[in-house]
Chains A and B, each alone.
Chain A
Amino acid sequence: MRLYEYQGKELFAKAGVPVPASRLAHNIQEVLEAAQSIGYPIVLKSQVLSGKRGKAGGIQFAENETEARQAADTLFKMEIGGQPVEIVLVEPKLEIEQELYMAISADPSLRKPIAIFCSDGGVDIEETAETNPEKIGTIPINILKGLRFYEALDLIQSNAEERFPATTARSLASAFVQLYQTYRQFDGSLVEVNPMVVTPSGVMAADARVDLDDDAVSRHPELGLDSVEDTGARPPTSLEIAAGKIDEHDHRGTAHFVQIDPDGSYVKEMDMIPIGFDCVGTGTSLTTMDELIPLGYYPVNFCDSSGNPTGSKLYRVTKIILSQPHIQGYLFVSCISSQQLDHTARGIIAALKELYPETDGKPNIPMVFAFRGSWDDVAIDLFRQHGISDSPWVRMLGRDTIEKDAALAFDEAYKVWKETTGGLQ
């Protein structure tokens, strides 16, 4: 889960990392009030989760009230990466002598956190990694010992263009240690400062990127965050927040749900048919998507309900998937799974019978259920016993089928449904 810059800076400040004085503003008047208390010149930073904010014009400077008013007006009318600007962070414009890059990230190949330092900050670090990889220094961190001050100091000085004065180097190393403490304390997956700036009054985190481990958010109620899947560069939808609650305290299997096209606009633009989607196994999700998309069907959500989830998890997540207004079908596909699929089936059936009481669970959209794995025969039989598979647009597949069969079965069911009913009103 990615935090807004102001949230990241709040964590930095608590850890002792120097950050500029700042105030949040939700409208022009609040910007002017903040500017008056901070003093001109100021910088106005739009708070969105999208990257490339600066290049999109989401950061503006103002020397006086007239400029502040104009800049605020511009920002509050902007959309960056599809997100409207609703919050602006107001800070003093810093007198920057040098811009640096500092981060703590996870290195899966080392199975350790790493500290990253680059003396070229304020620019795209991925670009530097391409063009000048020698400028980026990294060290692995032993989590039992943490990042030691002298390790941070060595990383900074050995990767500096010119060795930093001792005072500056010590301040930077202290900040690095405090960034690592933030990373550990809040179960971070990335803590990044780009740029960490050197000013006449000392070093300061001019920006903050903090990503937390989605599965650990529930361990930090003090942050007041919703426990949701990583939704990338946009805030979570209300359905994603609801789905996040399913796994929050119950770790018996998973129900990871993310909306790929929340408002259906992408599907409309691509002239495809939106469908709801649930798979056992992420790999199965991808291979099934690969089969569906050439047929003209686009899963508007991702869902992985695996690890032997309870029936109640499936019940809850199925209700969420089927509440998406635009979908014109639903697929459930399991990988060749060791999880007890009759439990999975019961959760889905319980949801269908509740959502479709008038038809005793028979849905109003085409559906395919491909159960492959432990107790798959029982799972399929349960759909028969409850009469749901009697629907003309429901198809049941078993372990002798592949993802392509599921996609083709859906295509056939969709055509029957469309021809028989004309589709949804």
Chain B
Amino acid sequence: MSEVKFNVFSGGTVTIDHSRCVKCETKVCVDVCQTVGNGFILGLNEDGLPHLIVDEAQVARGACVEDMGCLLACQIKGENAILFNLDMDEFEAALKEMDEKPVYARSLRENG
């Protein structure tokens, strides 16, 4: 099964896994993109699956406004088919340099 993958302006990629989309009844990613996302970059192809309706080069130069609406809507109203891979190389390097765990990785005391 195919996938849609495109670059975003800030660095990184968005991937939409069509093997999950075929099970999706809502196609909420398209609704969200065309309502809250100012870019309107997603539509449905002839098979009823989400795809880019604008040129990839335009998407990469900012037509995708990276509001992440498709990602979150798909998680709770779709089939969790969307992956944002946003580059943060320096952040990964910073984590490796840290002597202590970042707060999100710390455990709560016994009451938790």
Compute how far the CA of A316 lies from the CA of B36 in the bound complex, rounded to whole angstroms: 20
Among the listed A311, A378, A424, which residue makes an inter-chain contact with B108, where contact means beta carbons less than 8 Å apart?
A: A424
List chain B residues, Cβ under 8 A from A423. Answer: 108-109
Task: Assess the B8–A312 pair: CB atoms within 8 A.
Answer: yes
Looking at A3-11, A152-160, A350-358, the stretch in contact with chain B turns out to be A350-358
Compute how far the CA of A382 lies from the CA of B109 in the bound complex, rounded to whole angstroms: 29
Compute how far the CA of A77 lies from the CA of B95 in the bound complex, rounded to whole angstroms: 28
- Count of A interface residues, CB-CB < 8 Å: 50
Task: Assess the B91–A312 pair: CB atoms within 8 A.
Answer: no
Compute how far the CA of A322 lies from the CA of B101 in the bound complex, rounded to whole angstroms: 11
Among B10, B69, B110, which residue has the most Cβ atoms of chain A within 10 A? B10
Task: Assess the A323–B95 pair: CB atoms within 8 A.
Answer: yes
Interface of A is mostly: helix
CB of B103 within 8 A of chain A? yes
CB of A369 within 8 A of chain B? no
Compute how far the CA of A325 lies from the CA of B108 in the bound complex, rounded to whole angstroms: 13
| Interchain Cβ contacts within 8 Å, total number | 140
List chain B residues, Cβ under 8 A from A252. Answer: 9, 62, 65
Among B62, B89, B90, B108, which residue has the most Cβ atoms of chain A within 10 A? B90
Among the listed A245, A346, A364, which residue makes an inter-chain contact with B68, where contact means beta carbons less than 8 Å apart?
A: A346
Q: Which of A238-255 contact B (CB under 8 A)?
A: 238-239, 241-242, 244-246, 249-250, 252
Task: Assess the A250–B112 pair: CB atoms within 8 A.
Answer: no
Among the listed A250, A312, A326, A340, which residue makes an inter-chain contact with B103, where contact means beta carbons less than 8 Å apart?
A: A326
Compute how far the CA of A276 lies from the CA of B102 in the bound complex, rounded to whole angstroms: 12
List chain A residues, Cβ under 8 A from B10. Answer: 246, 249-250, 310, 312-313, 316
Task: Assess the A325–B65 pair: CB atoms within 8 A.
Answer: no
Name the residue on A nearest B110 (C-beta). A422
Looking at B16-24, B45-53, B71-79, the stretch in contact with chain A turns out to be B71-79
Task: Assess the B106–A350 pair: CB atoms within 8 A.
Answer: no
- Contact code string B13-55 (vs A, CB < 8 Å = 1, else 0): 0000000000000000000000010000000000000000000
Among the listed B36, B66, B103, B107, which residue makes an inter-chain contact with A325, where contact means beta carbons less than 8 Å apart?
A: B103
Among the listed B90, B97, B106, which residue makes an inter-chain contact with A424, where contact means beta carbons less than 8 Å apart?
A: B106
List chain A residues, Cβ under 8 A from B86. Answer: 312, 315-316
Task: Assess the A346–B102 pair: CB atoms within 8 A.
Answer: no
User: How close is A266's CB to chain B, nearest CB, in angstroms?
Assistant: 17
CB of B1 within 8 A of chain A? no
List chain A residues, Cβ under 8 A from B84. Answer: 312, 315, 350
List chain B residues, Cβ under 8 A from A364. Answer: 103-104, 106-108, 112
Compute how far the CA of A244 lies from the CA of B75 in the bound complex, rounded to whole angstroms: 30
User: How close is B100's CB to chain A, nearest CB, in angstroms?
Assistant: 4
List chain A residues, Cβ under 8 A from B69. Answer: 311, 342-343, 346
User: How close is B97's CB to chain A, nearest CB, in angstroms?
Assistant: 5
Compute how far the CA of A320 lies from the CA of B102 in the bound complex, rounded to whole angstroms: 9
User: How close is A46's CB to chain B, nearest CB, in angstroms?
Assistant: 24
Task: Assess the B68–A365 pair: CB atoms within 8 A.
Answer: no
Compute how far the CA of A321 lies from the CA of B80 in the bound complex, rounded to whole angstroms: 26
Compute how far the CA of A425 lies from the CA of B91 in the bound complex, rounded to whole angstroms: 24
List chain B residues, Cβ under 8 A from A148. Answer: none
Compute how far the CA of A386 lies from the CA of B110 in the bound complex, rounded to whole angstroms: 27
List chain A residues, Cβ under 8 A from B68. Answer: 311-312, 315, 343, 346-347, 350
Compute how far the CA of A386 lies from the CA of B88 in the bound complex, rounded to whole angstroms: 24
Name the residue on A nearest B96 (C-beta). A238
List chain A residues, Cβ under 8 A from B107. Answer: 364, 424-425
Task: Assess the A323–B111 pair: CB atoms within 8 A.
Answer: no
Name the residue on A nearest B98 (C-beta). A325
Compute how far the CA of A310 lies from the CA of B91 in the bound complex, rounded to whole angstroms: 18
User: How close is B7's CB to chain A, nearest CB, in angstroms?
Assistant: 12
- Contact code string A187-206 (vs B, CB < 8 Å = 1, else 0): 00000000000000000000
A-B contact sample (19 more), CB < 8 A, given A356-B104, A421-B111, A423-B109: A239-B91, A245-B88, A250-B10, A315-B68, A315-B84, A316-B91, A325-B101, A325-B106, A326-B100, A328-B103, A346-B71, A353-B72, A364-B103, A421-B108, A424-B103, A424-B108, A424-B109, A425-B106, A425-B109
Report 12 cross-chain contacts, Cβ distance below 8 Å, ordered by A residue. A238-B94, A242-B90, A250-B9, A316-B86, A323-B95, A323-B103, A363-B104, A364-B112, A378-B36, A386-B75, A386-B76, A425-B108
Interface residues of B (CB under 8 A from A): 8-12, 36, 62, 65-69, 71-72, 75-76, 84, 86, 88-91, 93-95, 97-98, 100-104, 106-112
